[in-house]
């Protein structure tokens, strides 16, 4: 069968790196999963029961999403710095669908698309379907390198910039305030859309939150994506998209064409949940849990890693970035050394379109049990030291 080109592009994205063969002994620092113990199961069960008592929860609704939920999300996002209302929010199947719909709106084959390097693998999997011409902007400690971005914008035609400004997947970096402002200025100057992906925004456990890039938007060219996946549960497949009317009209039509609407049952259940629980208190619990896990991981990494490795120190989110010596191939190390030692990471190779980030890897401390983190880091560090020693012998 001759499939469309986009299938091969999407299959080649490297999503399989995130799922390693089942190994009961493995300690995985790979998948960006929330801590299983942190799902508010009982409260969600009560909320879903309430929602199910109403037959409307089982009916078709509309592709915008359930208005009371959109209003609740608008209140949350206003408190977070975005001037919006329920009218300007569309419910998506997770942030992933927001990425897909925005790319579908903007990108024809060959159109210029800027991504951070490294970036979120799932975004590239979605983008690849639309066959963009990628331009990579290196990540710095305070967000993407805007000097490099400006050079690209001056010399190439770009339609969209994809960024994860808060606790970036995979580096954990936060874009500085100055860069957020400057990014919008550049987008205005060069007539580019900014896709701001913010699923980790509410998981800051240290320092002061910076306003979303969307809050600096003066020309309606920033699309903001939020998600319940990391702060409530990914299986709800519930995200939201904030955009100005011109963009939103296109997105809403594409959403209807893609899946008609998001589940009314889930949306009503989450609305009940948000109305009856202390959600800020739930967020505080998550922040406390992930802060503790990060501390354990960083302490162990600092103690055990070989000297030629460095790590980032995130103030929130799920991830940190492990940078190895130049020339190292993390994909090969994972296969030959880490998996046999029953530990896994996400090798950097597929986290940039050019595959130039191969001597780094993404590690998560969110999913593993806290008691597994230090033993896992010891395994990782021992395997890396062993591999380096063997390489020297050769
Ligand atoms: C940066 C980023 N965007 C989007 C997603 C997808 O999230 P969702 O479950 O909301 O679709 C993820 C999930 O890992 C992510 O890290």
- Ordered DSSP codes for 104-142: HHH--TT-EEEEEES--HHHHHHHHTT--EEEEEEEETT
Task: Tell me what pLDDT residue 10 has.
Answer: 74
Same domain for 84 and 31:
no
**Could you identify the atom of ligand 1 that is nearest to the CA of residue 228?**
10
Same domain for 68 and 200:
yes
User: Can you spell out the DSSP letters for 360-379?
Assistant: EEEEESSSS-HHHHHHHHHH
- How many separate domains does the chain show? 2
Nearest to 320 by CA among 334, 299, 341, 350: 299
Which residues of the chain fall below pLDDT 50? Answer: none
Q: Which of 255, 276, 297 is the last residue of a domain?
A: 276
Same domain for 244 and 110:
yes
- Ligand 1 centroid to Cα of residue 234, in Å, is 9
Task: Tell me what pLDDT residue 386 has.
Answer: 83
Q: Which of 276, 307, 331 is the last residue of a domain?
A: 276
Q: Whose CA is nearest to atom 6 of ligand 1?
A: 96
Same domain for 298 and 231:
no
Same domain for 32 and 83:
no
**Could you identify the atom of ligand 1 that is nearest to the CA of residue 164?**
1
Which residues, including other chains, have CB under 8 Å from residue 319's CB and lie 6 or more apart? 32, 167, 168, 169, 170, 171, 172, 362, 363, 364
- CATH value at residue 150: 3.40.640.10
Task: Tell me what pLDDT residue 392 has.
Answer: 65
Task: Tell me what pLDDT residue 17 has.
Answer: 55
Give residue 121's domain range. 41-276
Same domain for 339 and 235:
no
| Phi/psi of residue 134, nearest 5 degrees | -85, 145
Classify residue 281 as exposed, middle or buried by CB count within 10 Å of its CB (0-12, 13-18, 19+). exposed
Which residues, including other chains, have CB under 8 Å from residue 247's CB and lie 6 or more apart? 105, 193, 220, 221, 223
Token pair 């971005």 in the structure block, residue:
149
Q: Which of 247, 276, 305 is the last residue of a domain?
A: 276
| Phi/psi of residue 222, nearest 5 degrees | -110, 130
Of 18, 32, 34, 120, the residue with max ligand 1 atoms within 8 A of its CB, to mutate for a pocket test, comes to 120
Q: Which two tokens stand for residue 123?
A: 């975004």
Of 31, 116, 122, 203, the residue with max ligand 1 atoms within 8 A of its CB, to mutate for a pocket test, comes to 122
Cα angle vertex 277, ends 272, 278, to 5°?
A: 140
Same domain for 327 and 236:
no
Task: Tell me what pLDDT residue 253 has.
Answer: 97
Same domain for 142 and 128:
yes
**239-242/310-311 β-pairing:** unpaired
Q: Which two tokens stand for residue 213?
A: 């890039």
């Amino acid at each position: 069968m001759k499939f469309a080109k986009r299938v091969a592009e999407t299959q080649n994205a490297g999503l399989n790196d995130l799922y390693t063969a089942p190994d009961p002994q493995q300690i995985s620092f790979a998948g960006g999963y929330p801590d299983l113990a942190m799902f508010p199961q009982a409260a969600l069960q009560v909320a879903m029961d309430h929602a199910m008592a109403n037959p409307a929860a089982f009916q078709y609704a509309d592709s915008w999403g359930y208005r009371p939920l959109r209003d609740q999300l608008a209140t949350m996002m206003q408190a977070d710095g975005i001037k919006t209302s329920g009218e300007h929010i569309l419910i998506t199947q997770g942030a992933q669908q927001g990425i897909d719909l925005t790319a579908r709106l903007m990108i024809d084959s060959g159109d210029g698309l800027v991504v951070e390097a490294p970036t979120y693998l799932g975004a590239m999997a979605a983008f690849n379907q639309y066959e963009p011409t990628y331009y990579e902007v290196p990540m710095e400690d305070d967000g993407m390198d805007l000097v490099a971005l400006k050079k690209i914008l001056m010399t190439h035609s770009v339609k969209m910039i994809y960024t994860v400004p808060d606790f970036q997947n995979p580096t954990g970096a936060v874009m500085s305030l100055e860069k957020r402002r400057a990014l919008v200025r550049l987008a205005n100057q060069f007539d580019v859309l900014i896709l701001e992906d913010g699923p980790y925004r509410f998981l800051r456990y240290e320092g002061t939150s910076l306003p979303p890039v969307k809050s600096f938007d003066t020309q309606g060219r920033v699309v903001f994506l939020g998600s319940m996946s990391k702060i409530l549960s990914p299986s709800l497949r519930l995200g939201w998209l904030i955009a100005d009317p011109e963009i939103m009209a296109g997105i809403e039509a594409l959403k209807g064409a893609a899946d008609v609407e998001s589940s009314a049952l889930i949306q009503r259940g989450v609305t009940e949940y948000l109305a009856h629980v202390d959600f800020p208190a739930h967020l505080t619990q998550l922040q406390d849990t992930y802060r503790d896990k990060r501390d354990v991981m960083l302490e162990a990494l600092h103690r055990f890693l070989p000297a030629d490795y460095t790590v980032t120190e995130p103030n929130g989110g799920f991830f940190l970035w492990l940078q190895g010596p130049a020339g190292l191939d993390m994909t090969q190390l994972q296969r030959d050394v880490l998996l046999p030692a029953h530990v896994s990471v996400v090798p950097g190779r597929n986290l940039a379109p050019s595959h130039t980030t191969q001597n780094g890897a993404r590690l998560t401390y969110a999913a593993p049990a806290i008691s597994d983190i230090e033993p896992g880091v010891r395994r990782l560090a021992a395997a890396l030291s062993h591999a380096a020693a063997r390489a020297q012998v050769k």
